């Protein structure tokens, strides 16, 4: 079965990764190659080792590597970077003269110099047609204006975060993941915008790194406000240290911190104590019912029967019997007084005539 040899290439630091046909080139991560893209030829860097796939697994419109980059290609890329700084300064001057409400971020030359792309940010739509005419007349090449978001701006500008390290988006983060305030709450962070926001003004991307780990470790700890029965009495959970797996308890007006393993042992000891006491309690002897007659009873006499009483049941007096005959007579008179149901006045059927 035929297979294809593809390789992953990135064109910018921490940029998106694209797959290309490696053909027969001996490639290793870090090599620079020239490839054909939709925008023209470009200089890319190998980020993954070549791998073999079937033609069915290949991405659509797969393009191949043209050649390995040589010294002339690297020199051309360096010259383009110097030209980008000059183009950025000239464009900023033209924006100020026209009083346009836009912020220029970066200028990018294509590898062959056939186009210049200007990246900018703005609150709304901007009419930059006159600006494009000025730039095309000055640089004598094609001009493209591309509006980006604040996150993309921080990725291209770069800088240092509040942790003191280089921004994740400009160093290794290739795609932006959705971040919510729920992630900051799960990690017990103060909901202060200045502390949980990055250079772009959005929530820190690193909040999503440990969110799943915090959710898993929280399952082993009791919730805040829960009351636990310990050997020394009832204690209430005040706070939790999720990473250290410790809880702070309030017991008899005093606070103490315990590890979850020690706390679980103490809780298990309290629950096992009542079970042991129930096992140690002796069982009460059952009462034996003897069929022998008691000394006070005589043969032929019931146990609770007094002297002078016979075993034959005595008839009850007639006065205690209810007068059922009188009640039956009253019911008969009530039934007689009921009026018979009237029949509806229906016309009599005519007699059938015999033929």
Band of the pLDDT at 280, cuts 50, 70, 90? Answer: low
Q: What is the pLDDT of residues 285-326, one digit of tens each?
A: 554 544 454 444 454 555 455 444 444 445 444 444 455 566
The answer to whether position 28 is within a domain reads yes
DSSP secondary structure of 36-55: EETTEEEEEEE-S--EEE-G
Residue 268: the pLDDT is 78
95-116: string of b/e by CB count within 10 Å (b at 16+)?
beeeebebebbbbbbbbeeeeb
pLDDT over 90 percentage in the chain: 18
Residue 90: the pLDDT is 92
CATH number of the domain enclosing 88: 3.30.300
Is the Cβ–Cβ distance between 76 and 24 less than 8 Å?
A: no
The answer to whether position 316 is within a domain reads no
The answer to whether position 126 is within a domain reads yes
The answer to whether position 300 is within a domain reads no
Token pair in block for residue 52: 């073999």
Shared domain check, 118 and 134? yes
Q: What is the pLDDT of residues 118-144, one digit of tens each?
A: 999 998 888 888 999 999 999 999 999
Strand 65-68 and strand 254-259: pairing?
A: unpaired
Q: What is the pLDDT of residues 85-117, one digit of tens each?
A: 999 999 999 999 988 888 999 999 998 888 999
Count how many domains the chain has. 4
DSSP secondary structure of 79-99: HHHHHHHHHHHHHHHHHHHHT
Q: What is the pLDDT of residues 185-220, one digit of tens each?
A: 888 888 888 889 988 889 999 999 989 999 999 888
Q: Is the pLDDT of residue 339 over 80?
A: no
Q: Which of 148, 179, 203 is the last residue of a domain?
A: 148
Shared domain check, 173 and 139? no
The answer to whether position 314 is within a domain reads no
Q: What is the pLDDT of residues 152-184, one digit of tens each?
A: 999 988 888 888 899 999 888 888 888 999 999
pLDDT over 70 percentage in the chain: 76
Close Cβ partners of 281 (under 8 Å, ≥ 6 residues apart): none
The answer to whether position 128 is within a domain reads yes
Domain around 247:
227-275
Q: Which of 97, 127, 148 is the last residue of a domain?
A: 148
The residue-averaged pLDDT of 323-346 equals 60
């Amino acid at each position: 079965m035929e297979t294809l040899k593809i390789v992953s290439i990135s064109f910018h630091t921490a940029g998106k990764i694209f797959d290309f046909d490696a053909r027969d080139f001996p490639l290793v991560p870090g090599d620079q190659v020239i490839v054909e893209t939709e925008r023209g030829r470009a200089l890319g860097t190998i980020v993954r080792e070549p791998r073999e796939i079937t033609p069915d697994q290949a991405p659509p419109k797969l393009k191949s590597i043209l050649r390995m980059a040589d010294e002339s290609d690297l020199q051309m890329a360096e010259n383009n970077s110097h030209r980008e700084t000059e183009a950025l300064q000239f464009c900023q001057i033209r924006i100020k003269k026209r009083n346009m409400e836009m912020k220029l971020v970066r200028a990018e030359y294509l590898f062959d110099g056939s186009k210049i792309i200007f990246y900018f940010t703005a609150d709304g739509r901007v009419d930059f047609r006159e600006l494009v005419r000025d730039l095309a007349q000055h640089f004598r090449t094609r001009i493209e204006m591309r509006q980006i978001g604040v996150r993309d701006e921080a990725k291209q500008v770069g800088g240092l975060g509040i942790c003191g390290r280089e921004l994740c988006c400009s160093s290794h983060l290739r795609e932006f993941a959705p971040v919510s305030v729920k992630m900051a709450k799960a990690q017990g962070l103060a909901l202060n915008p200045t502390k949980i926001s990055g250079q772009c003004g959005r929530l820190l991307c690193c909040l999503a790194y440990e969110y799943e780990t915090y959710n898993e470790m929280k399952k082993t700890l009791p919730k805040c406000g829960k009351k636990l029965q310990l050997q020394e009495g009832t204690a209430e959970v005040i706070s939790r240290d999720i990473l250290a797996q410790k809880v702070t308890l309030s017991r008899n007006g005093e606070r103490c911190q315990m590890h979850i393993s020690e706390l679980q042992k103490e809780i298990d000891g309290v629950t096992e104590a009542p079970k042991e006491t129930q096992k140690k309690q002796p069982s009460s002897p059952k009462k034996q019912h003897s069929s022998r007659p008691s000394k006070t009873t005589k043969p032929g006499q019931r146990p609770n029967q007094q002297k002078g009483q016979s075993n034959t049941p005595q008839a009850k007096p007639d006065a205690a019997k209810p007068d059922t005959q009188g009640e039956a007579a009253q019911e008969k008179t009530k039934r007689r007084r009921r009026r018979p149901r009237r029949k509806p006045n229906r016309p009599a059927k005519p007699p059938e005539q015999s033929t």
